[in-house]
Amino acid sequence: MGSAYRVLGEYDRAVSTLTQALNEFIEAVGPDHVDTLLCRSRLALTHVSARYPDALELVTRTHAAFERAFGADDYRTLNEATHLATARQQAGDREGVITLLEATLALSEQALGRTHPRTWMVRDKLAASYRSFNRPELAVELLDRCCASLESSPVGDPVQQLQGRMRLTQALMHAGDLARCLDESQRLLEDTERILGRTDSGTITARSNLAMVHLNLDHPHEAIGLLEDALVDSTSALGASDRLTLRIIECLEKARASVAQDSSNS
pLDDT tens for each residue of 135-153: 999 999 999 988 888 888 7
Per-residue pLDDT tens over the stretch 162-174: 988 999 999 999 9
- Domains of the chain, by residue range, sit at 1-52
Per-residue pLDDT tens over the stretch 38-49: 999 999 999 998
Provide the pLDDT for residue 195.
95
Provide the pLDDT for residue 21.
92
Low-confidence ranges of the chain (pLDDT < 50): none
Which DSSP string do the residues of the chain spell out, in sequence order? -HHHHHHTT-HHHHHHHHHHHHHHHHHHH-TTSHHHHHHHHHHHHHHHHHT-TTHHHHHHHHHHHHHHHH-TTSHHHHHHHHHHHHHHHHTT-HHHHHHHHHHHHHHHHHHH-TTSHHHHHHHHHHHHHHHHTT-HHHHHHHHHHHHHHHHH-TT--HHHHHHHHHHHHHHHHHHT-HHHHHHHHHHHHHHHHHHH-TTSHHHHHHHHHHHHHHHHTT-HHHHHHHHHHHHHHHHHHT-TTSHHHHHHHHHHHHHHHHHHHHHHH-
